[in-house]
Structure 1
Amino acid sequence: MKKIFLFCVLLLNLKAFSQQRYELNSGWLCVNVKDASASESQISTLGFNTSGWMPATVPGTVLTTLLNNKKVPDPFYGMNNEKIADIYNVGKEHYTYWFVKDFNESAAGNDQVWLQFRGINYKAEIFLNGKKVNQKTHEGMHLRVKYNITKLLSSTGKNRLAVIVYPPDFPGNPNGGQGGDGTIAKGLTTQYTAGWDWIQPTRDRNTGIWDKVTIEKTKGINIQNPHVVTLVPGKRLPGAKQAPAIIKVSVEVENPTGKAISGILQYEIAGKLVKKNVTVSAAASEIKFPDLTLENPRLWWPSGYGKQDLYPVNIRFISANQVLDQENLTVGIRQIDNIWNEHTKSMGAYVNGQKIFIKGGNWIISDAMLRFSDARYDAEVRYHKDMNLNLIRIWGGAILERPEFYNACDKYGLLVFQDFWFSGDCNGRWVDPLKKEDQWTRRNYPDNHPLVLTAIEDQVKMIRNHPSLAFWCGGNEITPPEDILNPIKNDILPRLDGTRKFFDFSNSDEMSYNAIGGNGDGPYGIQDPISFWAVKTFPYNSEVGSVGVGDYESLERFIPKENMIAPQFKSKPDSVWDYHKYIGYNQYINPYGKAKDAKDFAMKAQLVNYDQYRALMEGFSNKMWDWYTGSIIWKTQNPWTALRGQMYDYYLDPNASLYGLRKGSEPLHIMMNPLDSMVTVVNNGLTDRNNLMVQAKVYDMAGKDYFYSQVFNSIGASSVRRFFPLNDFLKKMDQKDGVFVSLKLLNEKQEVLSENIYWLADKNGSYKGLQELKSANLSVSANRTSKNKIAVTLSNPVGNPVAFFNRVALINRETGKRILPAFYDDNYLSVLPGETRVVTVEFHDGEGNLAVEVYGWNVERQKINIQ
């Protein structure tokens, strides 16, 4: 009993001295530098009057603050961006601002108080209570900075922090080029802000205190930059009893007190406690723990291959029964390897010894104005999981994403391919008449190479513990300059990571041998779906894609009513469509009937979207391990209201691209090769699938079904199997009006494991039958199955035609507006005659007053109350 009492006293004692950390994320004020007629020391003193200053958004950019104070119109709507002053025209002073924040904090005894900025763009001077905090000007967007402010705190505990933020030194001319005139890349900042082929210029170039500001209070010792490496030797299977894994942990420990401190440095994972007796001198040092052998670990797997088990890790420094500092993080136990595939001539990705067929999407940035949130990150990454993808590539013209993004990737099982901050467009790969300087000059951007290396070291430390982070890449379509590239390859990554493959650039031969010629990526416009099956492209394609215009409800959010005009083939689109980077759907709309108006166009565009992305992933999967080891779609999301390359819009409303891709990327998938109508099954799983029934039927436009065949068979792990062709049968059907092909894959319980419906054109390549398809009276009901889930049941009576291409939308019952984000396990789906389909919708807790809306190609729009 006495031992228990002493143990409890010790726990209480440790708790009393636990670490404190909080964000300074509200109560900021700001003013343009031209309106601040006082010295730095005056502004940063509590007595200085800020009554005329604006509320500031921190974290955030100057433009975000101006928008939130209604000083500028929404740049994502219509042509509003043209109404906002561009920094290139008005000068940097226009977007140079003072930011102030009052906060309460004090230090006593051996307390140490730290101020950390996780991101400022571009330069800054920092003051606290009338004193300068940073002895050297902060420079560089991609760099965390930390200051010990213990001695600068007010004796009263009331403090004023003041920061003056200067825009990038070279904002660049936004002349319509990729990155404008290219000079935006002379600094270490976001290149896309000068404009790209998917976005208009961001007028302030993301100037501001754009990421979190944190106060941390410790007891003398500061633990920072923990590093956890997990080794999982051998070939593993998800869910099986596992051989041991090796855990390697190190941390940096800083002691600012001027005298040595002794104590116990320890970490805990999976109930195992690893300790080390240490003495930390006045200087910062890295301390390595002894290796831990963890028995039967729960492993982390990419989405589609297994669970994403995660372990909390707690690291503490204890001295005299006091916790002087602690760090908490979450890790996944897994090992990622890369093995060259000599047959495909491309790199193969292996996780826990198992080869993974890469199905990826390119990611730009969550929001062009850097309005990040945990909820938005979670929703966007979840959409990628819902597409049955297993990788996200972070494009080099933006940022290393924030830790919260990688948290979501850890949670949902998305591997991350991480570029550094270089692009072929700005950094000199090509001759470009829109660029201000020649290729030789641009090849050496940014100007400050030591700053780049410092930032890379810092950012590697920031995200290296995430199990989702799988690959490093020197840059988008070009390597960094040699004196940056070589230290990354030969020093920084081996020293600070050492566990991940580094590709020199995103389409390098070491990733995917380019025997075809060209740039190694693309194309980017709409293609004949057959081309994805018939044309061999790069064996691990870093950028291949299509379009992604949203449906009518999506377009209404940012296109003014007067501009809602259906774009026509071979004519320049409306100015707003053009401004938002519309790529023509060209001849792919007309086979469905020339668009009558914008609403009709948007509906037909969804048919094209679905067909494009389903065919893209089916075509690549059909040649898995033969032609390809993977592909990465350009691109899956947009950080503003663009009209190209997206599976969901800026407002997180999915379009048919997402569900076509979801279908084509199924881990176990039945499909039809359009070249020879061969019914084919893909198994991305790690185990054989036996006793499967493969079934094929055809439906005419009246809804009559024609049974073709069904066979029992099996398919091996991570393989493709061809079963039987439908060519002769389809020829007998004549296809005078087009037909529907229904494929199903069933198990021995007759449960549907995969199903797929194709709509085929007539002999002339037209969808005349669809244009004349009779209405289907679809019966729909909706039931709430839990606080954040609804089951929508769609039934199509016998004798009806196919109820074709139905959109299910969760809406507010009163306003009719969609609830966003919402996650559907299927959408834009067709219901065969005599069949019932159930769609599950998941949404955020707390949403009320809900209804469901359903409409389709030949199904009238209806609103359904939820039972």
Structure 2
Amino acid sequence: MTEYALNDDWEMSSSAEAEAVWHPCDLPATVLGVLAERGVVPDPFVGTNLRELPGQGPPAQNFSNHPMPEDSPFAVPWRFRRTFRVPADAGPYLRLRFDGVNYRAKVWLNGERLGDELVGAYRVFELDVTRVADREGDNELYVELTAPTPCDLAITWVDWNPSPPDKNMGIWRDVWLVDSGPVALRAPFVTSRIAAAADGGPAKLTIEGDLVNLSDEPQVAVVHAQIAELPGRAVRQVFELAPREERAFALRAEEHEALVVERPRLWWPRFMGSPELYGLQLDVTVGDNGHGVVSDRDGFQFGIREVTSRLTERGHARYEVNGKPLLVRGAGWAPDLLLRRERVRDAMQLQYVKAMNLNCIRFEGMLERAEVLEWCDREGILVIAGWCCCDCWEKWDKWGEANFTIAAESLRSQVRRVRRHPSMLAWWYGSDFPPPPRVERAYLDVLAEERWPNAWQSSAANKPTELTGPSGLKMEGPYEYVPPGYWLEDTARGGAFGFATEISPGAAIPPLASIEQMVGKDHLWPIDHVWSFHAGGQEFHTVMRFVDALTARYGEVAGVEELARWSQVVTYEGQRAMFEAYTRNKYGATGVIQWMLNNSWPSMIWHLFDWYLRPGGGYFGTQKACEPLHVMYAYDDRSVVVTNQWAVGFHGLTVRVRVVDLDADGVAQPAMVPEQLVRNVTVDADGKTVVLTLPPPEHAVRFVDLRLTDAAGREVSRNLYWLPREADVVDYAQASWLHAPTAKHADLSALRRLPVTSLAVRAVRAGDIRATLTNISDRLAFFVELRLVDATGADVLPVLWSNNYVTLLPGDVVSVHVSAPSGRVLPPDLHLELRGLNVPRLRVPITQDAAAEPAEGRQAGGVPAMPLDEHPGPASAIGHEQTARMVTSIIDESLVRAPWAHARRC
């Protein structure tokens, strides 16, 4: 089989136009996406442009549950067309494959209608065009699309963000011309059964898939299999097919000794081991008793691994890989709002996942393309997928008979598409609610028929079903702000127990540069309707719960710049506390999915990095909390704990604890707790060790500085906390799925009165950039943000930081590493810009001279650094008027289709 991509050189127009205007486009494409790209409508992502487009639904509501206005330009069919030529070497049987249309599509080729209407956003359709296709000249392909209605199983944005007025109508996935001989090979995959995985026991492989006889004659087909890493162990098996028959096939280790791998290289998730992959080549031959011509072929990489799920004694779902328990630490993925294919953006977002030390991403209804899954396979990042909530997918009482068929066939299409990937952990076929018995039975039948090899749950919520009982998962919130201590205190909802499928410490107001790009200079301050439009929908249409908590804990903010800076403090401590709590409590806690990883458009809520790929406090708090070997402070009992996600234990570790107390004026007080050095600490593989317990704070604010060094004296973890004398008091009696309100906020306002200090900084470039920050003063430097900027002061994005938002005690030295993704070269003429909450802004040129000596207030090389303001208070936003510089040359080769995919353009 060869797949010829038909994604380029399309045109699109509205059926309502008397004289059609055809807009050039490439696929994937939605109608609004094309109009925005061609400049027909203003950029929907800026200000309230999206709200002002014609055809919008009710404000702050889930548009998927509302009909389109009758006068909407998207209430009529839209048309896509292109021409193509059949390659001269194409096989005798031809099919057109549509990987995703939204929502209804009629297809014509060379003026002939192809089959029935295609219905369903998540279904994959193959249309036989062997007879219709012109092998000598141009082929005219024409597709007419209509948007989904409220009763359709389509794409929804829930309350994440506003919905586009076209409801994502379009061809939102790839279109292919697929060739083969008379017998086609479909959706092959490999499953494993591993004996004594921990001891390297043998693995028994089964190669499975489907064979389709496209001809009107009986066929004898031979399936040939060869694993690249096991040369000389080819496997072949004969299958007979009746005319037009489709049947499953399986090559099993019980019949083929070559499929028994004695000492397999197992595929492991991140930190549990290496994600080892094998390459499989499959050929199907027909004729001459199995020695005839190749009718079809496929090749892909697979992993030898087993995934299981079980309920713990307390009824919580716990996943295991190769017999080993797994603590899931992940976040919810959001694609582009207009469903555009953006390989550079996706490559960077995936590398951010890895840089934050996460091991999982969740696709709730937003099921990504094969290249994304292949990257996860290679990097050991797990994937949980399933249907979305809050629209017709969970309004089963409104389903007609067609919905039942579309739901089952949608699941079948997606299972076939993703089951070969070792990164796939589980499928959740319900989201907020489990399906009723008839629907669940249909889903279970599909999973059985398609030999789903991984775990599944009936929903993401703690709601049992008649057929399968409890899911073992929980979805009890919160989604809005809670204080850091909540996660280790709460025992009823989102606290660190069980498996939380979507929770969050709330809004995530990004750095100032992103706010400016998002709302525009005229709406920076005060917070207004444009801010709300870039929050969420329904209950989440405002950021004021977050802002109110920030000002109650840290004091009033004087403007947008102060709000942006202090928001990073709040999101850093919030995300760190959540992930650390679940890590400390494993395996009473079995998993946590942060809601969300990213946003579909520029947003003020629910992200670890913003739309502009600018990491903020939540990103670096997550990166810190999810270090595989980590030292942390527990808010509930004041203990210092070493946690370990690696599959090996560590001995001879040393934990250093330093405490700095501040009075209400921000002045350091004599240490009430002496420095402590605990040697010879041991932590087991995938374990944790309590090192010591600290006394309660006696002053307004306590800084707790933790350092972990290995047996060779190398620092492997550094963590610092700022703690109030009196902790926050949460009103658990009023807690709900939304949040747990704070009855009394902690007072950390003394941090605003920290005395000003400065740092010595050196930045050296040798391919990547290494910066050294030294606090040579007798004052603490709090929450120092580093930015990599170009000559205009604009951020260079995207980049990978080893650390950021750092706090330095007197005498501290911190090293920070900055690199371009995928080993690409950073652009020239860069500066490092830094500013702390009590450190004036400083811009430092980056030198190639690694021997340059830093001095206080001086850049590398001894030349006075460029001060950007006189004090650490509100200041002008240097360079923020510039659009962030995107290094568009950065493309991750791992997102390019593998050579065995046999894909070509047509």
Alpha-carbon distance change, 594 to 95 in structure 1, aligned in 2, over 3 angstroms:
farther
Q: Distance in 2 between matches of 1:508 and 1:339?
A: 15
Q: Report what 1:565 is aligned to.
A: 525
Alpha-carbon distance change, 28 to 145 in structure 1, aligned in 2, over 3 angstroms:
same
Q: Tell me the SS of whatever aligns to 1:629.
A: strand
Alpha-carbon distance change, 65 to 574 in structure 1, aligned in 2, over 3 angstroms:
closer
Does residue 634 (structure 1) correspond to residue 613 (structure 2)? The answer is: no
Alpha-carbon distance change, 783 to 333 in structure 1, aligned in 2, over 3 angstroms:
farther
Residue type matched to 2:92 in 1?
D
Alpha-carbon shift at residue 630 of structure 1 (Å): 2.1
Alpha-carbon shift at residue 441 of structure 1 (Å): 3.4
Alpha-carbon shift at residue 293 of structure 1 (Å): 0.8
Give the one of 239, 252, 263 matched to 1:296. 263
- The one-character-per-residue Cα deviations of 1:175-201 (angstroms, maximum 9, x if unpaired) are xxxxxxxxx2x1120122xxx332112
Give the one of 678, 682, 685 matched to 2:646. 685
Does residue 658 (structure 1) correspond to residue 619 (structure 2)? The answer is: yes
Alpha-carbon shift at residue 97 of structure 1 (Å): 1.3
Does residue 745 (structure 1) correspond to residue 708 (structure 2)? The answer is: yes
Give the one of 322, 328, 341 matched to 2:299. 328
Q: Distance in 2 between matches of 1:651 and 1:815?
A: 18
Does residue 352 (structure 1) correspond to residue 322 (structure 2)? The answer is: yes
Alpha-carbon shift at residue 770 of structure 1 (Å): 2.4
Alpha-carbon shift at residue 91 of structure 1 (Å): 4.3
Give the one of 793, 808, 813 matched to 2:786. 808
Give the one of 830, 836, 840 matched to 1:860. 840
Alpha-carbon shift at residue 514 of structure 1 (Å): 9.4
Q: Report what 1:708 is aligned to.
A: 675
Q: Distance in 2 between matches of 1:224 and 1:816?
A: 53
Q: Report what 1:139 is aligned to.
A: 119
Q: Distance in 2 between matches of 1:121 and 1:446?
A: 19
Q: Report what 2:385 is aligned to.
A: 418
Residue type matched to 1:329 in 2?
F
Residue type matched to 1:244 in 2?
P
Q: Distance in 1 between matches of 2:647 and 2:152?
A: 46
Q: Distance in 2 between matches of 1:692 and 1:108?
A: 63
Give the one of 197, 200, 204 matched to 1:246. 204
Give the one of 206, 213, 233 matched to 2:168. 206
Q: Report what 1:403 is aligned to.
A: 370
Structure 2, unaligned stretches of length 5 or more? 57-67, 254-258, 728-745, 849-906
Q: Distance in 2 between matches of 1:78 and 1:109?
A: 49
Q: Distance in 2 between matches of 1:720 and 1:110?
A: 59
Does residue 80 (structure 1) correspond to residue 59 (structure 2)? The answer is: no
Q: Distance in 1 between matches of 2:396 and 2:104?
A: 27
Q: Tell me the SS of whatever aligns to 1:82.
A: coil
**Contact 1:552/1:599 (8 A) holds in 2:** yes
- The one-character-per-residue Cα deviations of 1:519-560 (angstroms, maximum 9, x if unpaired) are 841011111211111112452222221221211112122111
Residue type matched to 2:412 in 1?
E
Alpha-carbon distance change, 28 to 815 in structure 1, aligned in 2, over 3 angstroms:
farther
Q: Tell me the SS of whatever aligns to 2:414.
A: helix
Pairing of 1:12-27 with structure 2 (within 5 A): 19-27=1-9
Q: Report what 2:695 is aligned to.
A: 727
Q: Report what 2:736 is aligned to.
A: none
**Contact 1:226/1:251 (8 A) holds in 2:** yes
Alpha-carbon shift at residue 445 of structure 1 (Å): 7.1
Alpha-carbon shift at residue 209 of structure 1 (Å): 0.9
Q: Report what 1:848 is aligned to.
A: 827
Q: Distance in 2 between matches of 1:792 and 1:519?
A: 42
Q: Report what 1:468 is aligned to.
A: 423
Alpha-carbon shift at residue 739 of structure 1 (Å): 3.3
Q: Report what 2:773 is aligned to.
A: 795
Q: Report what 1:541 is aligned to.
A: 500
Pairing of 1:59-78 with structure 2 (within 5 A): 59-78=28-47
Does residue 222 (structure 1) correspond to residue 184 (structure 2)? The answer is: yes
- The one-character-per-residue Cα deviations of 1:470-523 (angstroms, maximum 9, x if unpaired) are 11212111122432211212x21122134322211111356999999x984101
Question: Once structures 1 and 2 are overlaid, which stretch shifts more, 840-849 or 612-621?
Answer: 840-849
Q: Distance in 2 between matches of 1:109 and 1:792?
A: 53
Q: Report what 1:830 is aligned to.
A: 807
Does residue 614 (structure 1) correspond to residue 592 (structure 2)? The answer is: no
Does residue 256 (structure 1) correspond to residue 226 (structure 2)? The answer is: no
Q: Distance in 1 between matches of 2:483 and 2:839?
A: 27
Q: Tell me the SS of whatever aligns to 1:522.
A: coil
Q: Tell me the SS of whatever aligns to 1:557.
A: helix
Alpha-carbon shift at residue 356 of structure 1 (Å): 0.9
Residue type matched to 1:624 in 2?
K
Residue type matched to 1:531 in 2?
Y
Alpha-carbon shift at residue 447 of structure 1 (Å): 5.5
Q: Tell me the SS of whatever aligns to 1:615.
A: helix
Alpha-carbon shift at residue 846 of structure 1 (Å): 5.3
Pairing of 1:414-563 with structure 2 (within 5 A): 414-421=381-388, 423=389, 441-442=397-398, 444=399, 448-489=403-444, 491-509=445-463, 520-538=475-493, 539-546=498-505, 547-563=507-523
Alpha-carbon shift at residue 82 of structure 1 (Å): 1.7
Q: Report what 2:274 is aligned to.
A: 307
Residue type matched to 2:315 in 1?
K
Alpha-carbon distance change, 58 to 578 in structure 1, aligned in 2, over 3 angstroms:
closer
Does residue 124 (structure 1) correspond to residue 87 (structure 2)? The answer is: no
Q: TM-score, normalised by structure 1?
A: 0.84
Q: Tell me the SS of whatever aligns to 2:488.
A: helix
Question: Once structures 1 and 2 are overlaid, which stretch shifts more, 797-806 or 287-296?
Answer: 797-806
Residue type matched to 2:676 in 1?
S
Residue type matched to 1:817 in 2?
A
Alpha-carbon distance change, 551 to 376 in structure 1, aligned in 2, over 3 angstroms:
same
Alpha-carbon shift at residue 633 of structure 1 (Å): 1.9
Alpha-carbon distance change, 24 to 780 in structure 1, aligned in 2, over 3 angstroms:
farther
- The one-character-per-residue Cα deviations of 1:747-785 (angstroms, maximum 9, x if unpaired) are 221111222101233569433442222333323333344
Q: Distance in 2 between matches of 1:290 and 1:513?
A: 32
Q: Report what 1:174 is aligned to.
A: none
**Contact 1:647/1:657 (8 A) holds in 2:** yes
Alpha-carbon shift at residue 680 of structure 1 (Å): 1.7
Q: Tell me the SS of whatever aligns to 1:383.
A: helix
Q: Tell me the SS of whatever aligns to 2:593.
A: strand
Aligned residues: 782
Alpha-carbon shift at residue 446 of structure 1 (Å): 8.5
Q: Report what 2:869 is aligned to.
A: none
Q: Distance in 2 between matches of 1:391 and 1:445?
A: 35
**Contact 1:804/1:829 (8 A) holds in 2:** yes
Alpha-carbon shift at residue 206 of structure 1 (Å): 0.5
Q: TM-score, normalised by structure 2?
A: 0.81
Structure 1, unaligned stretches of length 5 or more? 1-18, 38-49, 171-183, 429-438
Residue type matched to 2:397 in 1?
T
Q: Tell me the SS of whatever aligns to 2:79.
A: strand
For the aligned residue pairs, the C-alpha RMSD in angstroms reads 2.9
Alpha-carbon shift at residue 662 of structure 1 (Å): 1.8
Does residue 777 (structure 1) correspond to residue 740 (structure 2)? The answer is: no
Q: Report what 2:893 is aligned to.
A: none
Q: Distance in 1 between matches of 2:351 and 2:656?
A: 31
Give the one of 88, 96, 119 matched to 1:115. 96
Q: Report what 2:587 is aligned to.
A: 625
Residue type matched to 1:441 in 2?
D
**Contact 1:310/1:331 (8 A) holds in 2:** yes
Residue type matched to 1:187 in 2?
D
Give the one of 321, 331, 334 matched to 1:361. 331
Q: Distance in 2 between matches of 1:22 and 1:330?
A: 20
- The one-character-per-residue Cα deviations of 1:88-137 (angstroms, maximum 9, x if unpaired) are 1224754521111111215679622221111011111111112222x211
Q: Tell me the SS of whatever aligns to 2:171.
A: coil
Q: Distance in 1 between matches of 2:123 and 2:534?
A: 37
Q: Tell me the SS of whatever aligns to 2:630.
A: strand
Residue type matched to 2:500 in 1?
N
Does residue 197 (structure 1) correspond to residue 132 (structure 2)? The answer is: no
Q: Distance in 2 between matches of 1:403 and 1:475?
A: 23
**Contact 1:219/1:324 (8 A) holds in 2:** yes
Q: Distance in 1 between matches of 2:402 and 2:250?
A: 36
Q: Tell me the SS of whatever aligns to 1:453.
A: helix
